[in-house]
Amino acid sequence: MPSVVLPTPRASATLFIGNAHELSSLNEAHIKSFGDFDGLGGVREHIEVSAVGINELLTPYANKIDFLSIDCEGLDYDLVKAIDHERIKPAVIQCEPSEHFLGGNTARMIDLMESRAYRLAAITDLNVIFERLS
């Protein structure tokens, strides 16, 4: 059964399955923001899936996370913000700001991560990568 990770614990959530599977998301508007996507755009279906909070997922590994990659189609900032940064301190965090959909999100992520003792290590076409300072 498919599962999703949320900023806060919840028993279930609606997952919108995109015609292009890599665009599936909890945010239907995010999928639609890609338009036709070479004939693969749009939502194929939506399903109810089990869910877990990000801290619930990561806490058992709190001191063992070297690299955390988050790519949740429009939910990345909310997930990163929800991480209990006092207990869970990955050495490197990569996430996708979805700047085309959430204008200014890259700057918001940088501000958030710098406030949590991370520095911006790299920006790619789609991702921002942060390195923990201490």
Assign 100 a pLDDT band (cuts: 50, 70, 90).
Answer: confident
pLDDT band at 2 (very low <50, low <70, confident <90, very high): low
**Residue 86 identity (one-letter amino acid):** E
Q: Is the pLDDT of residue 123 over 60?
A: yes
Residue 130 has which token pair? 């942060």
- Give the phi and the psi of residue 64 in degrees, each rounded to 5: -120, 10
The token pair at 18 is 């995109």
Mean pLDDT for 114-119 is 98
Locate tokens 């279906």: which residue? Answer: 45
Give the Cα separation of 23 and 30 in Å (integer): 8
pLDDT band at 110 (very low <50, low <70, confident <90, very high): very high
Percent of residues, the chain, with pLDDT higher than 90: 66
User: Quick check: 19 and 44 in contact, CB under 8 A?
Assistant: yes
Tokens of 98: 């979805």
Q: Comparing 6-15, 25-34, 103-112, which segment has the lowest mean pLDDT?
A: 25-34
DSSP annotation of 25 reads B
pLDDT at site 133? 96
> For 84, what's the count of Cα atoms within 13 Å in the CB-facing half-sphere?
15
